[in-house]
């Protein structure tokens, strides 16, 4: 089983209103597009997506231009690592993309892998950060902490500089 764990791209803090409704800024839009290109180029294509209902996570997902079935889940909005883990255990795909928010995403990423990637930004998991992690389990219901094998970790800034 493979998990693609992605924090939403950079959002626009100049907008007034509710946090849930905050959109991406132009840099975030460009980051999401390049992340989608990277996922396709590397063959990291999900067959199921779990996504927070916030504007910025929805926009990130749209700009990735993936074709997998999507489940928008309100309880993924600023979810704790435990809630994220619980939602992952309901997944059915072989390769699942989860698009969410910090601090839950970074904490979950840190807790799922047996060994952390050597990347300097893994601990703070900046916007757009994406972890590819494999698990030797028959279904997501068997997902437990500390059992993942990190395959890749990337941040959009690195992809834009290539």
Q: What is the mean pLDDT of each run of 10 residues along the chain (162 residues)?
A: 98 84 95 98 98 98 97 96 97 98 97 96 96 98 97 95 68
User: Cα(9)–Cα(128) distance, rounded to whole angstroms?
Assistant: 4
- What is the distance between the alpha carbons of residues 148 and 119, in angstroms, rounded to a whole number? 16
Q: Where does residue 146 fall: left (phi above 0), alpha (psi -120 to 50 degrees), or beta otherwise?
A: left
pLDDT score, position 15: 75
**Domain 2-160, CATH:** 3.40.50.1240
The answer to whether 90 and 41 have CB atoms below 8 angstroms apart is: no
pLDDT at 73: 97
Collapsed DSSP state (helix, strand, coil) of residue 4: strand
Distance between CA 153 and CA 125 in Å, rounded?
10
Q: What are the respective helix, strand and coil percentages of the chain, to the nearest 5? A: 35, 20, 40
What is the predicted pLDDT for the residue at 162? 62
At residue 58's C-alpha, the angle toward residues 53 and 69, to 5°, is 90
What DSSP state is assigned to residue 59? H
């Amino acid at each position: 089983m493979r998990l693609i764990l992605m924090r939403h791209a950079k959002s626009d803090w100049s907008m007034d209103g509710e946090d849930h409704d905050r959109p991406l800024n132009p840099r975030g839009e460009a980051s999401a597009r390049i992340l989608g290109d990277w996922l396709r180029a590397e063959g990291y294509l999900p067959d199921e997506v779990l996504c927070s209902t916030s504007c910025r996570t929805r926009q990130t997902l749209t700009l990735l231009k993936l074709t997998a079935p999507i489940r928008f889940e309100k309880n993924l909005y600023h979810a704790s690592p435990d809630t994220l883990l619980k939602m992952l255990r309901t997944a059915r795909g072989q390769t699942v993309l989860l698009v969410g928010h910090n601090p839950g995403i970074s904490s979950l990423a840190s807790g799922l892998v047996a060994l952390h990637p050597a990347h300097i930004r893994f601990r703070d998991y900046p916007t757009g950060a994406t972890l590819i992690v494999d698990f030797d389990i028959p279904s997501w219901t068997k997902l437990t902490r500390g059992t993942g094998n990190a395959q890749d970790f990337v941040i959009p800034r690195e992809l834009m500089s290539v």
